[in-house]
Structure 1
Amino acid sequence: MHIVITGANRGIGRSLADHYRARGHDVTGTARDGSSDLALDVTDPAQHRTVASLLEDRPIDLLICNAGVYLDKGHDIDGYPAEMWAQSFAANVTGVFLTVQALLPNLQASKGKIAIMSSQMASHTRAPGGSYIYRASKAAALNLGRNLATDLRADGIAVGIYHPGWVQTDMGGPAAEITTDQAVEGLTDRFEALSLDSSGCFETWDGRAHAY
């Protein structure tokens, strides 16, 4: 199985790449700083075209849109500058769409799957305040994924959107609830179970349906 993972140089992305490689799968990881298999800043259309060209003849069985940023962590109401909104949405929303758009022929070739990393912070049922940019961008990624699920059904491509858990990574911090190993074990089970019947789902890492 050929798996492409964006943001595969650290955190959950790296752990997912290691997991799949250890099980003999063909993994192509991308990273903005070039520290994975391919260099890709998901906000840069030109780099997407380059990656698409390099992978032109290779079907993709699973695309994991993992790359993202959390630039407004810890900000108070006086923060959140306009440029931070633009940068966050460029990575967390536009970047997901550009990745899917660029690699769609590869996914169509194998009737592959798309897994989009969103967050429980995307849910309108959770509104404790703060992290306005991150919450809004992950809600937009959730909306994007559900609409892609509708449009790509005819191509046989299933799309799932996932809350990976509050994970002990650089982004999640040491006080987070679960380890990367726990997150990866749960997420890979979710990806395997994803089908056209469940396309458009919003699920937690451990298999629970999440409120939108």
Structure 2
Amino acid sequence: MHFVITGANRGIGQALADRYRVQGHDVTGTARDGSAQVVLDVTDPAQHAAMAEGLAGRPVDLLICNAGVYQDKGHGLDGYPAEMWAQSFATNVTGVFLTVQALLPNLRAAQGKIAILSSQMASHTRAPGGSYIYRASKAAALNLGRNLATDLRGDGVAVGIYHPGWVQTDMGGAQGDITVDQAADGLVARFDTLSLETTGCFETWDGRPHAY
């Protein structure tokens, strides 16, 4: 099977890529810095077009939209500059959509699956304050995934949205609840069970339904 993973050069993306390769799957990883097979800044439409051209005719069984940024960690209400909002949404929301859009022919050919990594911080049931940009962008990614699930059901393409856990990565910090390996193992299990029956789901890394 052929899997495409954005942001596959470190953290969860790299761990997922490693696992799928060990399982014998064909993995296409992307990274904006050129450290994966495909150079892709998910905010750049031209790079999406180049990726689509390079993968033309190759069905994609699973697209994992993992690339993301968390630029506003620790900001107070006097922070959050407008440019940070624009950059974060360009990566965390528009970047997801552009990736899906670029690979739609490949996904339709395989009747594949799309996994979008959002966050529990997207849920309206969790509002402890702070991290306004990250929370808002991940909520938008969750909404995007839910609507894609509706529109792509007729093509046989299932879409799942996932909270990967508070993971000990550069983004999550050393104080995270779980390791990268725990997150990756849990997510692999979640992606395996994603189907048209569960399309539109919002789940945690360990299989619990998450409130929207």
The residue that corresponds to 1:187 in the other structure is 187
CA–CA separation in structure 2 for the residues paired with 1:168 and 1:26: 27
Structure 1: gaps spanning 5 or more residues: none
CA–CA separation in structure 1 for the residues paired with 2:183 and 2:153: 27
The residue that corresponds to 1:66 in the other structure is 66
- 1:141-196 deviations in whole A, cap 9, x for unaligned? 00000000000000000000000000010001111000111101110000000000
The residue that corresponds to 1:144 in the other structure is 144
Q: Give SS of 1:48's match.
A: helix
- Aligned ranges for residues 3-14 of structure 1 at < 5 Å? 3-14=3-14
Give the drift of 1:57: 1.3
Q: Give SS of 1:174's match.
A: coil
Q: Give SS of 2:103's match.
A: helix
Q: Give SS of 1:12's match.
A: helix
The residue that corresponds to 1:94 in the other structure is 94
- 1:32-71 deviations in whole A, cap 9, x for unaligned? 1110010000000000000000000110000000000001
- Aligned ranges for residues 2-81 of structure 1 at < 5 Å? 2-81=2-81
Structure 2: gaps spanning 5 or more residues: none
% same residue: 80
CA–CA separation in structure 2 for the residues paired with 1:7 and 1:121: 20
- 1:115-153 deviations in whole A, cap 9, x for unaligned? 000000000000000000000000000000000000000
CA–CA separation in structure 2 for the residues paired with 1:15 and 1:39: 18
1:125 corresponds to 2:125: yes
Q: Give SS of 2:36's match.
A: coil
The residue that corresponds to 1:170 in the other structure is 170
Q: Give SS of 1:64's match.
A: strand
CA–CA separation in structure 2 for the residues paired with 1:135 and 1:32: 23
CA–CA separation in structure 1 for the residues paired with 2:177 and 2:25: 29
Amino acid paired to 1:163? H
CA–CA separation in structure 1 for the residues paired with 2:94 and 2:62: 19
CA–CA separation in structure 1 for the residues paired with 2:144 and 2:112: 18
Count of matched residue positions in the alignment of Structure 1 and Structure 2: 212
Amino acid paired to 1:133? I
RMSD: 0.4
Q: Give SS of 1:29's match.
A: strand
CA–CA separation in structure 2 for the residues paired with 1:179 and 1:123: 22
Amino acid paired to 1:25? H
Q: Give SS of 1:46's match.
A: helix
CA–CA separation in structure 1 for the residues paired with 2:170 and 2:44: 24
CA–CA separation in structure 2 for the residues paired with 1:18 and 1:97: 25
Give the drift of 1:107: 0.2
CA–CA separation in structure 1 for the residues paired with 2:72 and 2:174: 18
